[in-house]
Amino acid sequence: MPFLPRLPFLMLLLAAALLPAACQTNSVDTPAADCAPPPAPFAVRHPAWAANASIYEVNIRQYTPEGTFRAFEAHLPRLDSMGVGILWLMPVQPIGQEKRKGTLGSYYSVRDYRAVNPEMGTLEDLRHLVAAAHQRGMHVILDWVANHTSWDSNLARQHPDWFTRDSLGRFQPPVADWQDVIDLDYSQPALRRYMTASMAYWVRAADVDGFRCDVAGLVPTDFWNDTRAALDSLKPVFMLAEWDELHAPPFLKPGQFDPNTHLLEKAFDATYALRLRYLLDSIGQGQQPTRAIDAYLAAERARYPAGVYLMNFTSSHDLNSWSGTEYERLGANALPQAVLAALLPGIPMVYSGQEAALKKRLSFFEKDPIAWNGYPLQEFYTTLLQLKKRNAALANGDACAEFAALPASSSPAVYCFVRRRQQQAVLTAVNFSRQPRELTLHDLGPGTYRDIFSGQIQRLGSGSKVVLPAHGYRVYERVPGPN
């Protein structure tokens, strides 16, 4: 379901009030001397395979002309080569017919939690896809819609008492605009048991590795806490929540958003970095200076320890279909924004078609296949995600890693930072302005670095100059060995 808003004006004012007078030279993520694990109550144990993983959101319906698991499976070698670690499949269950939107309906109007949408294939096809991903060292998570079902769902027929009601005793949507779905009532213990068992069913039946949970903050946190424990008893899972604990979606009714939810403490490995997404949109459009990123990161660290994951992205199924492609929203800054999403602290996500430089909004309720056009950005994303995969300085949620913004420029459109882990380091600089910028680096220890896009080797340190093209970027990886 969509998260559509821009960063509220009040939040912009708050961010502005927190801005430092100049780019900070101290680390936002300075590691503790003993690299201690996250403090209680942050008890989630991330699966080891998620440490250097990137997420790739798979829109099965639009991915190929066939729109099936088998047709998508042919893309696994390409995605593996690109460096993808976690495949997030949008909902795979049958879609409701009653009050359906459009011809094919929304993936998020689930009719049967324990069945496969026949448009996509069979359970055996899904098993085959998951097994093929596992053979390549990739992992698969399913989109899970726990908050609501279709009007004609199995649960609505068999357990009508598991749903909330309006003042006239009728089923009701959880949000006014979501007229194709009806709201579940988590005060019902039997519903909780059924939902947990249904998620466990997919771990057992298809060997999936976790779930991306739709509008997770609308479901009680204690349900997620209990369910995570139940799933972890089967295998180590990865759980991603569509939520930001400090950002209220505007489509909610008063009282629906609880800023005291704590999804990342016991239930989820990651939530959406929605505030960062809206902030970067604002920066890319020239409405905020890049130094606002420092205030954002400082606020995140005040809220969460270093071991917590937040998901960074420039597009998603919601953003693409409802707010526009990254090229509509960000224009010429789409690629430098993608560099930031991949390399800032957090777990990065790429949406289906971004490697095709997709410049169209995909229809949400109709068949609308992606035009791949030879994958013009395949190499771009491969370079970023493979760097993420191999370089320990970029590991997800590593309390021993360091992040430091560098005072490289007085331009409000330039941002420069370094991430370090012992002898490994990655230096990133982006330029959102229409003019090239020459940066003089400060507070960077001397070393030999390789430009990951050009392959050029050069010595860098304090006093070095780096030229950034207009709407451009430079990423340097420290070369191992004596520096």
Per-residue pLDDT tens digits for 362-376? 999 999 999 999 999
User: With 80 as the cut, is the pLDDT of residue 1 above it?
Assistant: no
Q: Once rounded to an integer, what is the mean pLDDT over residues 338-366?
A: 98
Of 148, 164, 160, 172, which is closest to residue 91 (Cα–Cα)? 148
Placement of tokens 């085959």 in the chain: 128
Report yes or no: 4 and 322 within 8 Å, Cβ to Cβ: yes
For residue 28, pLDDT beyond 70: no
For residue 249, cis peptide bond before it (omega within 30 degrees of 0): no
Question: Other C-beta atoms within 10 Å of 169: how many?
Answer: 7
| pLDDT value for 40 | 75
Decide the pairing of beta strands 414-421 and 447-451: unpaired
What is the amino acid identity at position 217?
G
Predicted local confidence at residue 297, as pLDDT:
94
Cα separation, 224 vs 247, in Å, equals 19
- Which range (39-43, 217-221, 241-245, 464-468) has the least confidence? 39-43
Instruction: Give the C-alpha distances (Å, rounded to integers) separating 217 from 241, 301, 316.
Output: 8, 21, 19
- Rounded to whole angstroms, how far apart are CA atoms 314 and 230? 33
Q: What angle do CA 20, 399, 137 make, to 5 degrees?
A: 120
Domain ranges of the chain: 39-394
Residue 340: closest CA among 306, 401, 296: 296
- Per DSSP, helices labelled H in 53-122 are 60-63, 69-73, 76-82
Helix (H, G, I), strand (E, B) or coil at 132: helix
Cβ contacts of residue 384 below 8 Å, gap of 6+?
Answer: 83, 338, 339, 342, 343, 348, 452, 475
Q: Over 50: is that where the pLDDT of 158 sits?
A: yes
Mean pLDDT on 291-313: 92
If you average pLDDT over residues 150-160, what whole number do you get? 98
Burial label, 6 (beta-carbon count in 10 A; 0-12, 13-18, 19+): middle
| DSSP states along 287-342 | SS-TTHHHHHHHHHHHHS-TT-EEEE-S--HHIIIII--HHHHHGGGHHHHHHHHH
Q: How many other CB atoms are found less than 10 A from the CB of residue 475?
A: 21
Is the per-residue pLDDT at 351 higher than 70?
yes
For residue 162, what are the contacts with CB-CB under 8 A and spacing of at least 6? 155, 184, 185, 188, 190, 191, 194
How far apart are the C-alpha atoms of 68 and 55, rounded to whole Å?
A: 20
482: confidence class by pLDDT, cuts 50, 70, 90: low
User: Which CATH number does 39-394 carry?
Assistant: 3.20.20.80
- Express as a percent the part of the chain with pLDDT over 70: 92
Give the relative orientation of helices 9-18 and 292-303 as an angle to the nearest 10 degrees: 90
List helix spans (H) across 354-416. 378-390
Q: Residue 168: what are its φ and ψ, rounded to 5°? A: -100, 5
Q: Per-residue pLDDT averaged across 17-26, rounded?
A: 32
Q: Give the model's pLDDT for residue 14.
A: 34
Task: For residue 7, name the pLDDT band (cuts at 50, 70, 90).
Answer: very low
Q: At a CB cut-off of 8 Å and minimum separation 6, what does 418 contact?
A: 403, 404, 406, 425, 426, 427, 428, 444
| Antiparallel, parallel or unpaired: β 309-312 and 270-272 | parallel
